[in-house]
Each structure stands twice: as structure tokens, then as C-alpha cells.
Amino acid sequence: MPSVLLGLALLAFWLYCLFDAITTPEGDVRNLPKILWVLMLVLLPGLGGVLWLLLGRPLSGQAVRRQRMGRPGPRPSVPRGPDDDPDFLRDLDRRLRREDD
């Protein structure tokens, strides 16, 4: 029974890697042409799958940006709330003083 489960797990892993390699756009594949990755996955199911995940699969969007820039750049400015805006606070203070009078 454990060998059947192991075989099914390896089959699922191989199918996942093969489907992922086939559906990945050609320009996003790393290190080898897409056709060579697919051939490697078909001829060497276990090893090819591991190599695909480590060396061939596209990087995540954040990793791609880091790789292109060489290092992470400045963070985009976060929207400020009204209580962080000095103009809003001054205007609010003026309105509150008028109501008190």
C-alpha cells in the first residue's frame, strides 16, 4: 500500500511539472529552451521535475523585479490618511475653533 501511494504521489508531481512546463510562456522559461525542459520531464520524470522547479520555472514577480534591478528599490508611497495630512489637521482645528466661538 505505501508503494502505491508513493507511486501516485510521484505521478501527480510529474504531471504537475509537465503541465506547468507546457503552459509556461516560452519567454518566461529559464536556463534552457522550453522544448528541452519538456523533453527532460518526459525522459527523466523525477529528476526532471525537481530540476524544472529549481532551475527552469519562472521566478515570482517580486523575484523578477529584484533580479532586474539588482536590489529592491524604494517602496512606493503609501496612501496617507487624513490624520497624517498637516493641511487637513489645520483646517480641522480652524473649524473646531469656529464652532467653539
In this structure, are residues 83 and 89 in contact, taking their beta carbons and an 8 Å threshold? Answer: yes
pLDDT at residue 77, rounded to an integer: 64
Rounded to whole angstroms, how far apart are CA atoms 101 and 96? 9
pTM: 0.57
Arithmetic mean of pLDDT, 6-30? 90
Share of the chain above pLDDT 70, in %: 78
Name the least confident of 17-26, 28-37, 59-68, 87-96.
Answer: 59-68
The predicted-structure confidence for 60-69, as pLDDT tens digits, reads as follows 765 555 555 5
Arithmetic mean of pLDDT, 89-94? 88
In this structure, are residues 14 and 45 in contact, taking their beta carbons and an 8 Å threshold? Answer: yes
